Amino acid sequence: MPLDRDIPQPTPSDSVTLYRLKMVEETLKSVSESLRLLATLEQRHLETREALARAFSAVDENDKRIRAVEVEIPTLKMVRGWVITGVVGCTSLCGIAVFQLIVNR
């Protein structure tokens, strides 16, 4: 059984060492917490980057579709003009025919 005299008494340098060890432990806890937070933020950043890539891919696909429609628009406008002119012409001819039938009776 050890005697009290066999147990070394703490010296002032021991208390400084213990204080420093305590500070190192606290710093390690803080670093661990910061590293955990950094990993979470990095994961969110990666998810955001992937979402942006998908969004830009969708924008590119829509841009291609819009360009294809823009190529067809002049032709569609021209055909629409012809159809409207044809409808107005047919309506006019029908109106004239009905008018002549009424006048000739």
The reported pLDDT for the residue numbered 10 is: 64
Q: Tens digit of pLDDT for each residue in 22-33?
A: 999 999 999 999
The reported pLDDT for the residue numbered 23 is: 94
Q: Does pTM surpass 0.85?
A: no
* Domain boundaries defined on the chain: 11-79
The reported pLDDT for the residue numbered 92 is: 96
Compute the average pLDDT of residues 74-97: 94
Q: Give CA–CA dist 104/98, Å, rounded.
A: 10
CA geometry: angle 52, 53, 58, nearest 5 deg: 95
Is the model's pLDDT at 12 over the cut of 90? no
Q: What are phi and psi of 2, to 5 degrees?
A: -75, 145
